[in-house]
Amino acid sequence: MAKKIAVLVGSLRKESVNRKLALELQRLASDGLELEIVEIGNLQHYNQDFDANPPQEWVSFREKIKCSDGVLFVSPEYNRTIPGVLKNAIDVGSRPYGQGVWAGKPGGVMTSSPSGIGGAIANHHIRQALVFIDVPVMQQPEAYIADAFGIWNEDGTAVAETEKFLKSWIDAYESWVNKF
Ligand X SMILES: Cc1cc2nc3c(=O)[nH]c(=O)nc-3n(C[C@H](O)[C@H](O)[C@H](O)COP(=O)(O)O)c2cc1C
Positions of E strands within 107-165? 107-112, 143-145
Nearest alpha carbon to residue 75 among 143, 164, 4: 143
Q: Report d(CA 15, CA 39) in Å as an integer.
A: 15
- Minimum Å distance from CB 110 to ligand X? 11
- Minimum Å distance from CB 115 to ligand X? 4
Rg (Cα) of the chain, in Å, rounded? 16
> Which one-letter amino acid corresponds to residue 50?
F
The binding track of 65-84 with respect to ligand X, each residue x by CB under 6 A or -, is -----------xxxxx----
Q: Report d(CA 175, CA 113) in Å as an integer.
A: 26
- Minimum Å distance from CB 177 to ligand X? 24
The binding track of 86-125 with respect to ligand X, each residue x by CB under 6 A or -, is ---------------------------xxx---x------
The β-bridge partners of 126 are none
Determine, following the binding rule CB under 6 A, whether residue 162 of this chain makes contact with ligand X. Answer: no
Q: Which is nearer to ligand X, 19 or 62 (CB)?
A: 19
Q: Which residues bind ligand X (CB under 6 A)?
A: 11, 13, 16-18, 76-80, 113-115, 119
